[in-house]
Amino acid sequence: MTKVSIELTVNGRARHATVPPRMLLSDFIRHELSLPGTHVGCEHGVCGSCNVVVDGRAVRSCLMFAVQVDGARITTVEGLAQGDDLHPIQQAFWEEHGLQCGFCTPGMLATAQELLAENPDPSDDEIREAIAGNLCRCTGYEFVISAIRSAAAKLREPESETVLQPV
């Protein structure tokens, strides 16, 4: 199978790879780039665990091929924390108990980034609607919603230095 050369930016770092055209973006991120924080739950675009941020949009990495992200800017869960500090959204998930097993969490974090970049002060119903495409079997979603609400408030504070990737 002829491999295709791609160049992209992942978590701020330029990456170059040659990949088979059929390789899923999720497999590319996990196994070729060794970034296993992106999780695969259903491999057919329903659960949202594999969501990553591609050029500002939260997308299902199991529904894209790696060759489609040539030239793109991608943020995975590994790109959120800065040094020893969790990202404000991660911090809010920690403080609000927005995760239990954590398997769906990277996808939730990607969805939350997109939501809060577009809508810095979402209502609970808007948060609920935004994460309705992310399945979680542990939490019953309530503390996920409170985590995103709390993260939004943190990010709106004037002293917040965190800038979300624009959509």
Partner 1 sequence: MSQHLKSNVIPPSRQREVPRTGLTWIGQSMKRVEDPRILSGKGGYIDDIAVPGMAHAAMVSSPHAHARILSIDTSKAKALPGVIGVYTGEDMAQVVDPCPSFASPPITQHPMSVGKVRHVGEVVAAVVAEDRYIAEDAAELVEVEWEVLPANVDLEASAAATGDAVLHPDDRDGNVALDESFSFGEVDRHFAEAHTVVKRRLRWQRSSAQAIETCGVVARFDAFKGGYTIHSNSNFYNFIPFVIGGSLRVSPGELRIIPVLTGGSFGSKVFNHKIIILTAGLARLAGVPVKYIEDRLEHFTNSDSHGSDRLYDAELAVAEDGTFTSLRFTVMDDYGAYLQFGVGTHGNAMAQVTGPYQIQSFGMRVIAVLTNKTQQGPYRGFGSEVTNWVMERMVDAAAEELGTDPVALREQNMIQPDQFPYMIPTGNIYDSGNFQKVLAEAKSMFDLDTWRDKAAKMRAEGRCVGVGLATCMERSVYGPTEWWSLNNTETPGFTLTSTPEGITVRLDPSGKMFVTLNSPMVGNSPETVVAQILAERLTIAPEDIVFNYSDSQSGFNGVGPQGSRFTAMIAGACVSAAIKLEERLKRFGAHMLQRRPEDVELRGGMVAVRGLKDQEKSFGEIALTSSFFRLSFPDGEEFDSGLETTAVYDHPLSTDPAEDRSHLGIFYPIVGHICHIVAVEVDPGTGKVEILDYAAVHDNGTMVNPRTLAGQVWGGTANGIGTTLTEQFLYDADGQFTNPNFAEFAMPTANEMPRNFKLGHVETPSPFTEYGIKGGGEGGRLGAPSALTSAIEDALSDRGVKITSLPVTPPTLRGLIRDAEQAATA
d(CA 58, CA 138): 22
138 interacts with partner 1 by CB under 8 A: yes
User: Interaction with partner 1 in 45-104: which residues (CB under 8 A)?
Assistant: 46-47, 49, 76-78, 80-81, 86, 90, 93-95, 97, 99-104
As measured in angstroms, the least distance from the Cβ of 76 to partner 1 is 7
4 interacts with partner 1 by CB under 8 A: no
C-alpha to C-alpha distances, 102 to 16, 21, 48, 89, 94, nearest whole angstrom: 30, 31, 13, 14, 11
38 interacts with partner 1 by CB under 8 A: yes
Answer for the pair 50, 38: CB distance below 8 angstroms, yes or no: yes
As measured in angstroms, the least distance from the Cβ of 158 to partner 1 is 25
As measured in angstroms, the least distance from the Cβ of 167 to partner 1 is 21
Number of residues that bind partner 1 (CB under 8 A): 57
Please identify, using beta-carbon distances, which residue of 97 and 156 lies nearer to partner 1: 97
Coarse DSSP helix, strand, coil percentages of the chain, rounded to the nearest 5 percent: 40, 15, 45
57-60 and 51-54 as β-strands: parallel, antiparallel, unpaired? antiparallel
